[in-house]
Structure 1
Amino acid sequence: MLPNQVHAQTPTPARDSSAVAVKAASAAAVSPVVGVWKGPLPIPGGSLPIQLEVGQVGPNKLVSTLDLPAKRLNRIPISLTFRGDTLVFYAPKADSRFVCLLSADGQELVGQWTQPGLRVPVTLRRNVPAGAVVSGPTVVVKATTYHTEPVTLASQPGSVKLAGTLSIPDGAGPFPAVVLLSDMGAQDRDTRQGSYHLFADMASFLARQGIAVLRLDDRGVGESTGSVPLTTTADLVRDAQAALTYLRLRPSLDPARTGFIGHGEGGNVALLAAAQPLPPAFVATLAASGLVGLELLANQAEPITSPADTARVGTARRAAWAEVLRKAEQLRNSGSNAAQVETYVAQQRLKIKSAERKELEAMLKFRRSMFEIIRQTPNDDQAQAIVVNMLHQRYPSMDPGAARARAVQLTTPWYRYYLKFDPQPGLADVQCPVLLLNGTSDAEVNAAANLAALEKGLRANKRVTVRRLPAINHWFQTPASEQIAATDGTVDPVVYPVMLDVVRDWVLQQAGK
């Protein structure tokens, strides 16, 4: 490290490392770089607006974020390093660096922006004075540091151990708090999907905004005891209630401002818990279901039977389209005019789409039939034998072991419970504030159908907020087209920043009441 390079707050395992707090060059009460800085980023063919926000969270402690509105990237945590009079902002996720100087009048950051394939001069002008940074029309957001603690609690009956992590903002409190409730399947406390960690990212973001967050390993996952296939949605409701009680007993947290944020099935678990005695202060759902369990599962894609099956489907589609193009070329060569060729291609495209639609309808009918048989056949051995036979008829090349494993999975207590699950009956008893948030490109939980059903069930509750996020999938990932690619051209999945902002603002609004 250079002698005049100062980093504030040496990171510890319990600290947030995604938004690096740094020491200012002087011990002044408010650093001269605190504020919002905006300007154009020159790119080939035009420019993109960018914004840097620098906040001060304590004596000589700064945090900073980067916004690229045109790319719908908001509040990307970035590091800020001082090298004498030079400021260096660095965003690891975007692999971007801004090296600059503060102008003599303190109103501009003048320097050079670099990222893979781009090196340009940039000038950002102070947009909001220091100390006057406000986010949203009604919510004042104060960035802070936070620490984490390991948590172990018991869920009854059976004294099942649930292990997880509690992220708590630094300070005296009492703070509002949330329990994150995961989607169906075996999820750890971070809800890891490859390199994508939805709950870990949510916990980091919310804790920096003054909201404590508890996230837990599911039963039978990580450090939690119990069994995933033996766990039902009713068990998950008891787990959620145990987690809520734990937070309400923490002295630094406000029991009157403690609620749930549930993803997928976790959203339904949160709503079920909210219909019980001692409900949460609020519930935010991310892609919760409004349909009965059998219908929701039937409308989801059947798990891939094998890579070979996937390859065959893709090959068949490409071959069909190649044949259309070949015949179109034959028509051109035989003297057909452009309009005739275009008409032919359009007709064939409609035929292919019609065939795909019929295939989807056949799949839906097959899955409904299979699930209905399971629901009406209580004996596992009998149900599994029927399911194996149905799978072999539908997928002749399916491995017998895979068919058997699928049949066993479909007759576990969780599946049997969920196939009969209807989210509607308990919704009328939910009286706390509710946020319903869904992505319009969710292939697992159709936003239109499920939001309509949830809104209908919650119609007696006058404190329901509904938001649809265009082009966002079930995991609330920022579309790849709106991200900056890495040097090798790849794009890692990143949580959609607009979703984070919506959830944060809504929770703080409830906490402020």
Structure 2
Amino acid sequence: MKYYFAALCLLLGSLLPIEAQTIRQIEVSFPILKGKMKLQGVVSQVAEAPQQSPILVLVTPPQASNRDYVGFFKALSDSLNRKGYTTFRYDNRSYSDTLQGNQLHEGRYTMHDAADDLHDALAFLKSDERFASHPVGVIGHSEGGSVAIIEASRNTEVKQLLLLATMGVKGEQVYYEQNMSRLTPFLKWHSYSEINLLRYSIYRKAHIIASEPRDKQAIKDLEKEIAEIYQRNPSFFNSSYRVQTQQEFVKSQTEPFKNDARLLAFIRYNPKKYLQSIRCPIFIAYAKNDNLISYLEHQKGIECALLENQHFNFFSIAIDDANHSFEDQEGYLPLYVSVHRKDSTLDLGQAFTTLLDNMTKWLQVSTK
């Protein structure tokens, strides 16, 4: 009699709506750096998830972030779980470094370091008998999308790639645009020639770093170039940057790059280089009120790179009234506008729901 009862329980469990089924939280760890360090994470899955259902790995940008990623990945994971999808999210290396007592240094780790860690995360899933039978998809947000692109370009185990508000143009272009956006409120105090000289200095910094792969040589080239630019209008740069000498100005413009490997890699990044090697299905989503990147420019960048290589298996969408984190935001706020929050939690509403609906519809089609 007990066997009939057990079978009945299993049958009833499989018929329950996914929301009513138990979500298992499986704490795991996996080695990186050839076993020198471990990252902690959690696999979240519906108890009755089919063996062949995908595991979706959520990837943060390289800056220090735990598995919840300011709540965005926690909300995304929970929502995907309720739709029947298993997720895997983990504390990234920069965050984990601080847990071991090391001083936080945001610029220490690059998108390439993060891609190596993602590679190890995928290898772990394939080596663990609990997860080995599941195909793997990767979801990356912002610079985490660049991390996902790098790994997908070299790892055929990535069966689905989901890119959320991800860079679609060269990093040097993004660096220029973001810096100019931050300076916008101050430009009204200067002449056109001064503004263009400022533009030129930012453009040259990005271009020199992007053109020279050797960090030390790039800094040397940059120091020489910045000194020459300073000589064009010393009084302007002295007043604008609150320096008194050429040496002080050169130091102010080059010092931030010396200990910021992440920024150097960001500026040198070219998504087209990696997208040409990816053949798996790709989901692309942008937010129309994104104040960090020009969504249309980046969306077209990824689409055109894929089409150029005759990769037609992708879906692309831009979501109305959404910011970079896919929170509801009706108006566009420039990058120089500071938004003060009462707390650090995200306000996820209709825009997030629209993202999730499109994502799950695409997953259903691309998984078949």
TM above 0.5, one fold?
Answer: yes
- 1:50 alignment partner in structure 2: none
- Check conservation: 1:427, 1:458, Cα contact below 8 A: yes
Selected match of 2:273 from 417, 425, 430: 425
Partner of 1:288: 166
Task: Report the alpha carbon displacement of residue 178 of structure 1 after superposing the two structures with TM.
Answer: 1.0
Please name the residue that 2:347 is paired with.
494
Displacement, 1:358? 9.8
Q: 1:171 to 1:191 in 2, by over 3 A?
A: same
How big is the shift at 1:406?
7.5
Q: Deviations over 1:382-406 (max 9, x none)?
A: 4786799779647434899999687
Question: 8 Å contact 1:282–1:432 — kept in the other structure?
Answer: yes
Structure whose residues are more often strand by fraction: 1
- The whole-number CA distance in structure 2 between the counterparts of 1:361 and 1:499 is 39
TM-superposition CA deviations, 1:245-287 (whole Å, max 9, x none): 2223344446453110001121122122222143311000001
Provide, for residues 16-75 of structure 1, a one-character-per-residue CA deviation record: whole Å limited to 9, x for no partner. Answer: xxxxxxxxxxxxx9xxxxxxxxxxxxxxxxxxxxxxxxxxx977xxxxxxxxxxxxxxxx
Q: How does 1:47-446 map to 2 (within 5 A)?
A: 144-157=21-34, 159-171=36-48, 173-174=50-51, 175-192=53-70, 197-222=71-96, 228-253=106-131, 255-301=133-179, 313=185, 364-375=199-210, 376=212, 378-379=216-217, 382=220, 393=238, 395-397=240-242, 407-411=254-258, 412-446=260-294
2: CA distance between counterparts of 1:181 and 1:443?
A: 21
Q: Which has the higher contact order (CA 8 A, sep 6+)?
A: 2
CA contact (8 A) 1:176 1:254 kept: no
Any conservation in 2 of the 1:260–1:270 contact (CA below 8 Å)?
Answer: yes
Instruction: Tell me, in whole angstroms, the C-alpha distance in 2 between the residues paired with 1:295 and 1:446.
Output: 11
Letter aligned with residue 148 of structure 1: Q
Question: Structure 1's 303 and 505: CA in aligned 2 closer, same or farther, altered over 3 A?
Answer: same
Structure 1 residue 413 displacement after superposition: 2.1
Distance 2:360 2:296 in 1: 24
User: 1:231 is paired with a residue of what secondary structure?
Assistant: coil
Asked if structure 2 preserves the Cα contact closer than 8 Å seen for 1:387 and 1:407, the reply is: no
Comparing both structures, which one devotes a greater share of its residues to helix? 2
* Aligned amino acid, residue 465 of structure 1: F
Q: Which ranges in structure 1 are unaligned for 5 or more consecutive residues?
A: 1-28, 30-56, 60-130, 134-140, 321-354, 482-489
Alpha-carbon distance in 1 for matches of 2:41, 2:248: 35
Alpha-carbon shift at residue 509 of structure 1 (Å): 3.0
* 1:404–1:473 distance in 2 versus 1, CA, 3 Å: farther
Q: TM-score, normalised by structure 2?
A: 0.72
TM-score by length of 1: 0.54
Q: How many residue pairs align between the two structures?
A: 325
Q: Does the 8 A contact of 2:180 with 2:199 survive in 1?
A: no
Q: Return 383-392 or 231-240, whichever deviates more.
A: 383-392
The aligned counterpart of 1:462 is: 312
Give 1 or 2 for the bigger CA radius of gyration.
Answer: 1
Q: Report the equivalent of 2:360.
A: 504
Map Cα deviations across residues 195-228 of structure 1 (whole Å, 9 max, x no partner): xx21111112112222121112222214677964
SS at match of 1:295: helix
User: 2:3 — aligned with what?
Assistant: none
Give 1:156 shift.
3.4
Label 1:379 to 1:473 Cα distance change in 2 as closer, same or farther (>3 A). Answer: same
Q: Which sections of structure 2, spanning at least 5 residues, go unmatched?
A: 1-7, 231-235, 332-341
Are the aligned partners of 2:289 and 2:330 in contact in 1 as well (CA < 8 Å)? no
Counterparts in 2 of 1:502 and 1:420: CA distance versus 1, 3 Å:
same
Task: Give the 3 Å change call, closer, same or farther, for CA 501–301 of structure 1 in structure 2.
Answer: farther
Contact 1:145 1:208 in 2 (8 A): no
Identify if the C-alpha distance between structure 1 residues 282 and 401 changes in structure 2 by more than 3 Å, giving closer, same or farther: farther
Distance 1:370 1:180, change over 3 A: same
Give the Å deviation of 1:369. 2.0
Matched residue type, 2:317: R
* Distance in structure 1 (CA, Å) of the matches to 2:147 and 2:277: 14
Contact (CA 8 Å) 1:152, 1:164: kept in 2 or not?
yes
Q: Secondary structure at the match of 1:425?
A: helix
Q: Map Cα deviations across residues 94-142 of structure 1 (whole Å, 9 max, x no partner).
A: xxxxxxxxxxxxxxxxxxxxxxxxxxxxxxxxxxxxx999xxxxxxx76
